[in-house]
């Protein structure tokens, strides 16, 4: 049951990661209207969205796991958030690194496929890569993607612990907003 639960958490995170990549891909025409202004704005926006999805996904998983542990259905595993996000980050990072082993002018089928996979996986941080390193930096892709995956892993792990301890993240702010409008 532990492996199944961990795989489910990895699956949830992967789906959120793909969603952010697709949303980022859809804003390419928007970024082309103001190429000096929009990439930094969109880069930090989508970086924040990716972190938001990782944090709230693992927070909700941690909150659900609290009940499962209390009823004796599951064993306590406080590292589950770090494990799920870390395993996903390592797998994604391997797919991002594989094209680095091909020569820059490689035109074989494997090189094209892995470069396409790399492009799709790094789409969520593409605007940040462009902002920090310029449009054609092969090492910038690896650096920014690696830093983002480390941030996502740490934030997901901490969010899982916070959810497991039943510490509310957004509910206190919602209560304040409701009081303001009454």
Determine the Cα–Cα distance for residues 99 and 108; give it in Å rounded to an integer: 11
- Rounded to the nearest 10 degrees, the angle between the axes of helix 109-121 and helix 2-26 is 90
The rounded distance, in Å, linking the Cα atoms of 141 and 99 is: 11
The SS3 of residue 76 is: coil
- Give the separation between CA 128 and CA 57, rounded to whole angstroms: 23
The confidence score (pLDDT) of residue 104 equals 67
In whole angstroms, what is the distance from residue 18 CA to residue 117 CA?
Answer: 12
Give the model confidence (pLDDT) of 93-131 as tens digits: 998 888 877 776 777 787 788 888 888 888 888 888 888
pLDDT tens figures, 8-53: 999 999 999 999 989 888 888 888 888 778 888 888 999 999 999 9
End-to-end, the C-alpha distance of the chain in Å comes to: 46
Radius of gyration of the chain measured on its C-alpha atoms: 19
Cα angle: 43, vertex 124, 169; to 5 degrees? 80
Question: Could you tell me the sign of the dihedral formed by the alpha carbons of 80, 48, 165, 67, in that order?
Answer: negative
Confidence (pTM): 0.85
Output the six-digit token pair for 158: 């901490």
Q: How far is CA 137 from CA 71, 104, 131, 168, in A?
A: 51, 12, 11, 41
């Amino acid at each position: 049951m532990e492996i199944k639960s961990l795989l489910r958490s990895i699956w949830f995170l992967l789906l959120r990661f793909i969603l952010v990549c697709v949303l980022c891909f859809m804003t390419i025409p928007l970024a082309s209207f103001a190429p000096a202004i929009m990439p930094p704005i969109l880069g930090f926006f989508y970086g924040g969205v990716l972190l938001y999805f990782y944090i709230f996904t693992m927070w909700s998983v941690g909150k659900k796991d609290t009940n499962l542990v209390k009823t004796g259905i599951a064993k306590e595993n406080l590292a589950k958030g770090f494990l799920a996000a870390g395993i996903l980050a390592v797998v994604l990072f391997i797919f991002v690194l594989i094209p680095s082993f091909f020569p820059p002018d490689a035109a074989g089928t494997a090189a094209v496929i892995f470069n396409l996979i790399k492009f799709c996986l790094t789409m969520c941080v593409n605007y940040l890569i462009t902002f920090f390193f310029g449009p054609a930096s092969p090492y910038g892709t690896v650096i920014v993607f690696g830093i983002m995956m480390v941030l996502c892993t740490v934030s997901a792990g901490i969010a899982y612990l916070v959810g497991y301890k039943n510490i509310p993240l957004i509910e206190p702010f919602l209560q304040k907003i409701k009081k303001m409008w009454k």
